[in-house]
Amino acid sequence: MRHILKQGLIMLSAAMTAMAANGQPDAREMAEASLNKLSAADAIAVNISIADEAVLHDGFKVRAYREGEVLLSREAGFVFSRSGAIVDQKIAFDGENVFGIGKNLQVFATAEMPNDTSVDSAMDALTEKMGSYLPGRDLFYDDAAAGIFDGVTSGQYLGLMPVNGKSCHYTAFRSGDVDWHLWVGETDGLPCKYMITSRWISGQPEFEMTFSGWNLTPEINSDSFTLEKPDGYTEVTLEAMQPQPQ
């Protein structure tokens, strides 16, 4: 196994050296152009698949898999959904209120937001103050490229690679405490996959998110981002509906 791994690393290193010598595309320009496509869109809809790693106390690494959707309007709000064995949630903002539905726990939450709260500010408030999880939100901010490249010290273009049957440009970047990777569609220039490696956490866990079915002109209506309390659900705070560590 070690011999095979060593061979693979040697081959990857040689390929990277050859690509650099051949004047391959600029990694940062390519990633920024992809993120700027999302920022320029008034609305976004996309299907997501998530692989989220955790490192247990004995060093054993496990992955949780979830699937979901993101629907976002720069002016009106958003819905992030994710569904897996442990968590089945929707988190939304309709321009005035934030909402949460937890199907596994059968709970519902809502809270009023201050007047003139922007979509970006609502995402920040939900994640930083209310403990909510909005998968891949880094890519959905109004100026995603500026935020995600803040602190980046280096980047590399690693060639074309297949992601879910699509040919995608592979770009990789390093910042102070994480490495992050963005695969960009060869034909549409939109993200195929996004991965973060937390280098300074024991075991270096990874977060990986793949995308499919991008729609930059989705239909948005008056109730796209308003969630109603299902019958029989218990009303709780947004903080209380988040999974608690065991």
Mean pLDDT score of the chain, rounded to an integer?
Answer: 87
d(CA 52, CA 66): 8
- Mean pLDDT calculated for residue range 168-183: 94
**Can you give the pTM of this predicted structure?**
0.86
> Residue 224's closest CA among 70, 113, 88?
70
> Does 102 score more than 90 pLDDT?
yes
- Position 173 scores a pLDDT of 97
d(CA 186, CA 191): 10
CB 101 within 8 A of CB 94: no
- Position 204 scores a pLDDT of 66
> Does 1 score more than 70 pLDDT?
no
Domain ranges in the chain are: 25-235
Query: What would the CATH number be for the domain defined by 25-235?
Result: 2.50.20.10
Handedness of CA 99, 196, 203, 62 (dihedral sign): positive
**Residues 42-56 as b or e (16 or more Cβ within 10 Å = b):** ebbbbebbbebbeee
Per-residue pLDDT tens for 8-18? 433 444 444 44
Structure tokens at 240: 């209380």
